[in-house]
């Protein structure tokens, strides 16, 4: 994925310059540690609530709010006006751009999340690149490792497999792309800019830009007898 499909005018010019030099999203992910070279100690310019665990060097930008019971394991950079909701975990070279939202219980690991991206409740975003303004719906999983632990390749729209040299690679999502709730993206999936994926789908390969991905399903609907369900209290009293 060309980095030009990730960015918009709201991103910091220095970050745009850095991304442009990398040319592709995979190259940017490979070089993500460069963004943390100058981060030597924790600097908090935002609001950090009680019961937040912060270890390692972490930058929290002005106007950002870290809610209770969040775990941040640096090095991590969090931009301005970011909301990190309770129970979220951000770790291992995660870069969170300004105006992002990290939902309750979300897990963001070694990923580049550009300005305005939203990773909603219960999501996993590992070794991924999330474009500006993209949305990752609640419960979505951006899987980052194959079952056989071999190298992750990217399958183009022409069916060609492109090696990445990486055993850990999640998804590459273009700007203003969107995943519905409980979507699963297989390792190395590419979702082009302005492409939407409907809820509950399992997707691999390269798709987009400007597509709506849905699936047809056939429901099996039939009559059933009524059952008054017990509270379960007596059943479990011995446990």
Backbone φ and ψ for 20, nearest 5 degrees, come out as: -60, -35
Cis peptide upstream of residue 209 (ω within 30 degrees of 0): yes
CATH 3.40.50.300 fits 3-236, yes or no: no
Structure confidence at residue 238 (pLDDT): 58
pLDDT at residue 229, as a whole number: 81
Who contacts 166 (Cβ-Cβ below 8 Å, separation ≥6)?
A: 26, 29, 30, 127, 151, 152
From CA 209, how far away is CA 84, in angstroms rounded?
A: 29
- Mean pLDDT, contiguous 10-residue spans, the chain (239 residues): 90 93 96 95 96 96 98 97 98 96 98 97 98 98 96 95 96 98 98 97 96 94 90 64
The pLDDT score that the predictor gives to residue 217 is 87
State the pLDDT at residue 237: 58
Domain boundaries, the chain: 3-236
180 in the Ramachandran plot: left (φ > 0), alpha (ψ -120 to 50) or beta? beta
């Amino acid at each position: 994925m060309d980095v030009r499909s990730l960015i918009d005018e709201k991103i910091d010019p220095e970050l745009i310059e850095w991304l442009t030099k990398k040319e592709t999203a995979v190259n940017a992910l490979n070089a993500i540690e460069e963004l943390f070279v100058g981060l030597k100690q924790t600097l908090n310019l935002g609001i950090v609530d009680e019961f937040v665990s912060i270890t390692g060097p972490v930058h929290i930008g002005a106007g950002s709010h870290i809610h209770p019971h969040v775990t941040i394991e640096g090095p991590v950079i969090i931009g301005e006006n970011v909301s990190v909701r309770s129970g979220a975990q951000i770790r291992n070279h995660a870069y969170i751009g300004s105006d992002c939202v990290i939902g309750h219980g979300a897990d963001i690991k070694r990923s580049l999340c550009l300005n305005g991206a939203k990773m909603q409740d219960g999501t996993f975003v590992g070794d991924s690149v999330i474009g500006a303004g993209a949305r990752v719906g609640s419960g979505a999983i951006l899987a980052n490792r194959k079952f056989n632990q071999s190298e992750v390749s990217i399958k183009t729209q022409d069916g060609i497999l492109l090696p990445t040299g990486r055993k850990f690679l999640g998804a590459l999502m273009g700007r203003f792309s969107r995943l519905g709730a409980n979507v699963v993206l297989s390792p190395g999936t590419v979702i082009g800019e302005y492409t939407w994926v409907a809820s509950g789908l399992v997707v691999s390969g390269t798709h987009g830009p400007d597509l709506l991905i849905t699936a047809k399903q056939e429901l099996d609907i039939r009559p059933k007898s009524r059952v008054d369900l017990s509270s379960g209290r007596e059943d479990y009293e011995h446990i």
